[in-house]
Amino acid sequence: MEIRTVGIIGTGTMGLGIAQVCAQSGFNVIAVKATPGSWEKAKASLEGGLNKSVERGKMAAADRDALVGRITFTTDERAVADCDLIIESIIEDLQTKKDLFRRLEAICRPDTLLCTNTSTLSVTAMMAVCKHRSRVAGLHFFNPAPVMKLVEVIHAFETSEEVIETLDQFCKTISKGPVIVQDTTGFIVNRLLTPYMLNAIRMLERGTGTIESIDQAMKTGAAHPMGPFELADYIGLDVVEAMAHNIFEDVRHEHHAPPHTLTRLVQLGYLGRKTGKGFYDYAQKPPVQNPQLLRPVT
Protein backbone atom coordinates (compact mmCIF):
# COMPACT_ATOMS: atom_id res chain seq x y z
CA MET A 1 0.00 0.00 0.00
CA GLU A 2 1.70 3.17 -1.15
CA ILE A 3 0.58 6.54 0.17
CA ARG A 4 1.16 9.52 -2.10
CA THR A 5 -1.86 11.77 -1.63
CA VAL A 6 -3.57 12.41 1.69
CA GLY A 7 -7.10 13.77 2.01
CA ILE A 8 -7.94 15.75 5.13
CA ILE A 9 -11.60 16.36 5.90
CA GLY A 10 -12.11 19.27 8.27
CA THR A 11 -9.89 22.33 8.38
CA GLY A 12 -10.10 23.26 12.08
CA THR A 13 -7.02 23.36 14.32
CA MET A 14 -6.35 19.62 14.07
CA GLY A 15 -7.17 19.21 10.37
CA LEU A 16 -4.90 22.11 9.42
CA GLY A 17 -2.12 20.89 11.69
CA ILE A 18 -2.27 17.39 10.18
CA ALA A 19 -2.35 18.85 6.65
CA GLN A 20 0.77 20.88 7.48
CA VAL A 21 2.62 17.86 8.88
CA CYS A 22 1.81 15.71 5.82
CA ALA A 23 2.72 18.43 3.30
CA GLN A 24 5.94 19.16 5.19
CA SER A 25 7.00 15.56 4.58
CA GLY A 26 6.35 15.85 0.85
CA PHE A 27 2.86 14.36 0.57
CA ASN A 28 0.28 15.98 -1.66
CA VAL A 29 -2.69 17.00 0.44
CA ILE A 30 -6.30 17.72 -0.43
CA ALA A 31 -7.81 19.69 2.46
CA VAL A 32 -11.60 19.80 2.47
CA LYS A 33 -13.44 22.43 4.48
CA ALA A 34 -16.28 20.40 5.99
CA THR A 35 -18.55 23.14 7.32
CA PRO A 36 -20.31 25.76 5.19
CA GLY A 37 -18.23 28.72 4.02
CA SER A 38 -15.15 29.16 1.90
CA TRP A 39 -11.71 27.69 2.58
CA GLU A 40 -9.78 30.98 2.30
CA LYS A 41 -9.75 31.59 6.06
CA ALA A 42 -8.32 28.12 6.73
CA LYS A 43 -5.56 28.66 4.18
CA ALA A 44 -4.77 32.11 5.62
CA SER A 45 -4.58 30.61 9.11
CA LEU A 46 -2.11 27.94 7.96
CA GLU A 47 -0.02 30.53 6.12
CA GLY A 48 -0.08 32.81 9.19
CA GLY A 49 1.51 30.09 11.33
CA LEU A 50 4.09 29.27 8.66
CA ASN A 51 4.95 32.95 8.19
CA LYS A 52 5.75 33.16 11.90
CA SER A 53 8.15 30.23 11.51
CA VAL A 54 9.82 31.99 8.57
CA GLU A 55 10.09 35.27 10.50
CA ARG A 56 11.70 33.45 13.43
CA GLY A 57 14.19 31.82 11.11
CA LYS A 58 12.79 28.31 11.71
CA MET A 59 11.75 27.76 8.09
CA ALA A 60 13.03 28.99 4.73
CA ALA A 61 10.53 31.03 2.70
CA ALA A 62 11.01 28.61 -0.22
CA ASP A 63 10.10 25.63 2.03
CA ARG A 64 6.99 27.45 3.21
CA ASP A 65 5.96 28.11 -0.39
CA ALA A 66 6.61 24.50 -1.40
CA LEU A 67 4.63 23.24 1.62
CA VAL A 68 1.64 25.48 0.84
CA GLY A 69 1.91 24.52 -2.84
CA ARG A 70 1.41 20.85 -1.95
CA ILE A 71 -1.96 21.54 -0.26
CA THR A 72 -5.08 21.98 -2.37
CA PHE A 73 -7.91 23.58 -0.41
CA THR A 74 -11.47 22.87 -1.48
CA THR A 75 -15.04 22.63 -0.21
CA ASP A 76 -15.81 19.68 -2.49
CA GLU A 77 -15.64 16.36 -0.62
CA ARG A 78 -15.44 14.47 -3.92
CA ALA A 79 -11.97 15.96 -4.46
CA VAL A 80 -10.57 13.21 -2.19
CA ALA A 81 -11.65 10.47 -4.65
CA ASP A 82 -8.07 9.63 -5.70
CA CYS A 83 -6.44 9.94 -2.28
CA ASP A 84 -4.59 6.93 -0.86
CA LEU A 85 -5.26 7.89 2.75
CA ILE A 86 -8.05 10.03 4.17
CA ILE A 87 -7.95 11.43 7.70
CA GLU A 88 -11.16 12.98 8.95
CA SER A 89 -10.98 15.65 11.62
CA ILE A 90 -14.53 16.96 11.66
CA ILE A 91 -16.85 17.59 14.61
CA GLU A 92 -16.71 15.00 17.45
CA ASP A 93 -20.18 13.62 16.80
CA LEU A 94 -20.53 9.94 16.05
CA GLN A 95 -23.55 10.22 13.75
CA THR A 96 -21.90 12.98 11.69
CA LYS A 97 -18.74 10.90 11.40
CA LYS A 98 -20.68 7.76 10.41
CA ASP A 99 -22.49 9.74 7.70
CA LEU A 100 -19.11 10.97 6.44
CA PHE A 101 -17.64 7.44 6.35
CA ARG A 102 -20.66 6.26 4.32
CA ARG A 103 -20.12 9.09 1.83
CA LEU A 104 -16.36 8.46 1.65
CA GLU A 105 -16.92 4.78 0.85
CA ALA A 106 -19.10 5.82 -2.07
CA ILE A 107 -16.48 8.30 -3.34
CA CYS A 108 -13.18 6.44 -2.83
CA ARG A 109 -11.50 3.29 -4.10
CA PRO A 110 -12.13 0.19 -1.96
CA ASP A 111 -8.47 0.18 -0.87
CA THR A 112 -8.26 3.84 0.19
CA LEU A 113 -7.35 3.95 3.88
CA LEU A 114 -10.08 5.68 5.87
CA CYS A 115 -8.95 7.09 9.21
CA THR A 116 -10.52 9.14 11.95
CA ASN A 117 -8.74 11.59 14.24
CA THR A 118 -11.40 11.11 16.92
CA SER A 119 -10.34 11.67 20.55
CA THR A 120 -12.77 9.38 22.32
CA LEU A 121 -15.38 8.02 19.90
CA SER A 122 -15.44 4.39 18.80
CA VAL A 123 -13.52 3.78 15.57
CA THR A 124 -15.28 0.41 15.34
CA ALA A 125 -18.65 2.20 15.29
CA MET A 126 -17.47 4.20 12.25
CA MET A 127 -16.06 1.05 10.66
CA ALA A 128 -19.44 -0.65 11.15
CA VAL A 129 -21.14 1.55 8.54
CA CYS A 130 -18.53 0.57 5.90
CA LYS A 131 -18.53 -2.35 3.46
CA HIS A 132 -14.73 -2.51 3.17
CA ARG A 133 -13.94 -2.51 6.86
CA SER A 134 -10.36 -3.74 7.02
CA ARG A 135 -9.09 -0.35 5.72
CA VAL A 136 -10.74 1.66 8.50
CA ALA A 137 -8.57 2.74 11.47
CA GLY A 138 -7.81 5.67 13.74
CA LEU A 139 -4.90 8.09 13.43
CA HIS A 140 -5.06 10.24 16.54
CA PHE A 141 -2.82 13.32 16.44
CA PHE A 142 -2.20 15.70 19.34
CA ASN A 143 -2.46 19.46 19.53
CA PRO A 144 -0.38 21.24 18.24
CA ALA A 145 0.03 18.57 15.55
CA PRO A 146 3.20 20.07 14.04
CA VAL A 147 4.91 19.89 17.45
CA MET A 148 3.55 16.82 19.27
CA LYS A 149 5.45 13.67 18.33
CA LEU A 150 2.80 11.09 19.19
CA VAL A 151 0.22 9.61 16.86
CA GLU A 152 -1.99 6.87 18.30
CA VAL A 153 -2.65 4.32 15.54
CA ILE A 154 -5.99 2.81 16.46
CA HIS A 155 -6.57 -0.84 15.71
CA ALA A 156 -10.34 -1.18 15.43
CA PHE A 157 -12.22 -4.49 15.44
CA GLU A 158 -11.70 -5.46 11.81
CA THR A 159 -8.68 -3.33 10.82
CA SER A 160 -6.17 -5.53 8.97
CA GLU A 161 -2.61 -5.96 10.20
CA GLU A 162 -1.38 -4.74 6.80
CA VAL A 163 -3.27 -1.47 7.23
CA ILE A 164 -1.87 -0.99 10.75
CA GLU A 165 1.64 -1.62 9.43
CA THR A 166 1.14 0.86 6.57
CA LEU A 167 -0.16 3.53 8.97
CA ASP A 168 2.68 2.89 11.42
CA GLN A 169 5.17 3.38 8.58
CA PHE A 170 3.32 6.47 7.34
CA CYS A 171 3.56 8.06 10.81
CA LYS A 172 7.31 7.41 10.87
CA THR A 173 7.63 8.97 7.40
CA ILE A 174 5.99 12.16 8.69
CA SER A 175 8.49 12.15 11.61
CA LYS A 176 6.02 11.07 14.27
CA GLY A 177 6.42 8.40 16.92
CA PRO A 178 3.39 6.14 16.50
CA VAL A 179 1.96 3.90 19.21
CA ILE A 180 -0.48 1.15 18.28
CA VAL A 181 -3.57 1.11 20.49
CA GLN A 182 -6.64 -1.11 20.57
CA ASP A 183 -9.94 0.70 20.03
CA THR A 184 -11.03 1.50 23.58
CA THR A 185 -12.65 4.77 24.64
CA GLY A 186 -10.03 7.50 25.03
CA PHE A 187 -7.27 5.19 23.72
CA ILE A 188 -4.17 5.69 25.91
CA VAL A 189 -3.58 9.42 26.28
CA ASN A 190 -7.08 10.76 26.69
CA ARG A 191 -8.07 7.87 28.95
CA LEU A 192 -5.34 9.01 31.33
CA LEU A 193 -5.39 12.74 30.65
CA THR A 194 -9.16 13.32 30.91
CA PRO A 195 -9.59 12.01 34.49
CA TYR A 196 -6.44 13.94 35.41
CA MET A 197 -8.00 17.23 34.28
CA LEU A 198 -11.34 16.33 35.89
CA ASN A 199 -9.55 15.60 39.18
CA ALA A 200 -7.84 18.98 39.04
CA ILE A 201 -11.26 20.65 38.63
CA ARG A 202 -12.65 18.69 41.58
CA MET A 203 -9.60 19.72 43.60
CA LEU A 204 -10.42 23.35 42.77
CA GLU A 205 -14.05 22.78 43.80
CA ARG A 206 -12.88 21.34 47.15
CA GLY A 207 -10.63 24.34 47.75
CA THR A 208 -7.40 22.31 47.75
CA GLY A 209 -5.69 25.06 45.78
CA THR A 210 -6.27 27.80 43.24
CA ILE A 211 -6.18 27.42 39.46
CA GLU A 212 -2.75 28.99 39.43
CA SER A 213 -1.33 26.99 42.36
CA ILE A 214 -2.52 23.65 40.96
CA ASP A 215 -1.07 24.50 37.54
CA GLN A 216 2.16 25.71 39.07
CA ALA A 217 2.45 22.53 41.16
CA MET A 218 2.11 20.22 38.16
CA LYS A 219 4.54 22.26 36.05
CA THR A 220 7.30 22.47 38.60
CA GLY A 221 6.57 19.27 40.55
CA ALA A 222 5.82 16.89 37.69
CA ALA A 223 7.60 18.69 34.81
CA HIS A 224 4.44 19.04 32.71
CA PRO A 225 4.75 21.79 30.08
CA MET A 226 1.28 23.07 31.05
CA GLY A 227 -0.76 22.67 34.23
CA PRO A 228 -4.14 20.87 34.03
CA PHE A 229 -6.17 24.11 33.73
CA GLU A 230 -3.88 25.61 31.09
CA LEU A 231 -4.10 22.32 29.22
CA ALA A 232 -7.90 22.12 29.46
CA ASP A 233 -8.19 25.71 28.18
CA TYR A 234 -5.74 24.85 25.38
CA ILE A 235 -7.64 21.72 24.30
CA GLY A 236 -11.00 23.54 24.59
CA LEU A 237 -13.42 23.00 27.48
CA ASP A 238 -16.16 21.76 25.15
CA VAL A 239 -13.75 19.09 23.90
CA VAL A 240 -12.73 18.15 27.45
CA GLU A 241 -16.39 17.89 28.47
CA ALA A 242 -17.19 15.75 25.42
CA MET A 243 -14.24 13.45 26.19
CA ALA A 244 -15.43 13.10 29.80
CA HIS A 245 -18.95 12.41 28.61
CA ASN A 246 -17.83 9.71 26.15
CA ILE A 247 -15.61 7.96 28.71
CA PHE A 248 -18.39 8.20 31.34
CA GLU A 249 -20.90 6.70 28.87
CA ASP A 250 -18.53 3.77 28.42
CA VAL A 251 -17.51 3.05 32.01
CA ARG A 252 -20.48 4.54 33.93
CA HIS A 253 -18.31 5.48 36.87
CA GLU A 254 -18.98 8.90 38.45
CA HIS A 255 -15.23 9.49 38.66
CA HIS A 256 -15.38 10.13 34.88
CA ALA A 257 -18.46 12.42 34.90
CA PRO A 258 -17.82 16.07 33.98
CA PRO A 259 -17.59 18.18 37.18
CA HIS A 260 -20.09 20.96 37.74
CA THR A 261 -17.61 23.80 37.12
CA LEU A 262 -16.68 22.40 33.71
CA THR A 263 -20.32 22.02 32.66
CA ARG A 264 -21.12 25.58 33.78
CA LEU A 265 -18.19 27.10 31.87
CA VAL A 266 -19.20 25.25 28.71
CA GLN A 267 -22.84 26.31 29.13
CA LEU A 268 -21.69 29.92 29.40
CA GLY A 269 -19.57 29.66 26.27
CA TYR A 270 -16.28 30.00 28.16
CA LEU A 271 -14.42 27.35 26.21
CA GLY A 272 -10.83 28.31 26.96
CA ARG A 273 -8.28 30.00 24.73
CA LYS A 274 -10.40 29.90 21.62
CA THR A 275 -13.12 32.07 23.20
CA GLY A 276 -10.73 34.23 25.25
CA LYS A 277 -11.94 32.86 28.58
CA GLY A 278 -12.08 29.53 30.39
CA PHE A 279 -10.28 28.75 33.62
CA TYR A 280 -8.14 31.75 32.70
CA ASP A 281 -9.05 35.14 31.29
CA TYR A 282 -6.89 35.62 28.18
CA ALA A 283 -7.84 39.29 27.75
CA GLN A 284 -5.26 39.95 30.49
CA LYS A 285 -1.58 39.73 29.60
CA PRO A 286 -0.34 37.46 31.10
CA PRO A 287 -3.62 35.57 31.52
CA VAL A 288 -5.10 35.59 35.05
CA GLN A 289 -7.50 33.17 36.76
CA ASN A 290 -11.05 33.72 35.54
CA PRO A 291 -12.36 36.02 38.32
CA GLN A 292 -15.79 34.37 38.11
CA LEU A 293 -14.19 31.22 39.51
CA LEU A 294 -12.95 32.90 42.68
CA ARG A 295 -16.28 32.08 44.35
CA PRO A 296 -18.02 28.69 44.28
CA VAL A 297 -19.73 27.86 40.99
CA THR A 298 -23.44 27.15 41.46
Residues labelled as active-site residues: 119, 140, 152, 190
Based on CB atoms, which residue is closest to ligand CAA, 81 or 148?
148
How near is the Cβ of 279 to ligand CAA at its closest, in Å? 15
279 binds ligand CAA (CB under 6 A): no
78 sits near ligand CAA (criterion: CB under 6 A) = no
Site for ligand CAA contains 68 (CB under 6 A): no
Instruction: Name the amino acid, one letter, at 215.
Output: D
Residue 58 binds ligand CAA (CB under 6 A): yes
223 binds ligand CAA (CB under 6 A): no
Residues between 117 and 136 with contacts to ligand CAA, criterion CB under 6 A: 119
For ligand CAA, how many residues bind (rule: CB under 6 A)?
Answer: 16
What gap in Å lies between CA 129 and CA 109, rounded to an integer?
16
Residue 230: CB minimum distance to ligand CAA, A:
8
Phi first, then psi: give them for residue 28, nearest 5 degrees.
Answer: -80, 140
Rounded Cα–Cα distance for residues 77 and 176 (Å): 27
Q: Which is nearer to ligand CAA, 84 or 241 (CB)?
A: 241
Residues 6+ apart with CB under 8 A from 73: 11, 31, 33, 39, 40, 42, 43
Residue 170-199 contact track with ligand CAA, rule CB under 6 A, x = bound = --------------------x--x------
In whole angstroms, how far apart are CA 77 and each of 103, 190, 258?
Answer: 9, 29, 35
Applying CB under 6 A, among 121, 231, 232, 271 the residue interacting with ligand CAA is: 231
Cβ(115)–Cβ(163) under 8 Å? no
Q: Does 143 bind ligand CAA (CB under 6 A)?
A: yes
What three-state secondary structure class fits 99?
helix
Cα–Cα nearest to 156, from 120, 117, 182: 182
Neighbours of 52 (CB within 10 A): 11
Q: Measured in whole angstroms, how far is the alpha carbon of residue 219 from the centre of its chain? A: 23
Give the binding site for ligand CAA (CB under 6 A): 49, 58, 119, 142-144, 146-148, 190, 193, 225-226, 231, 235, 239
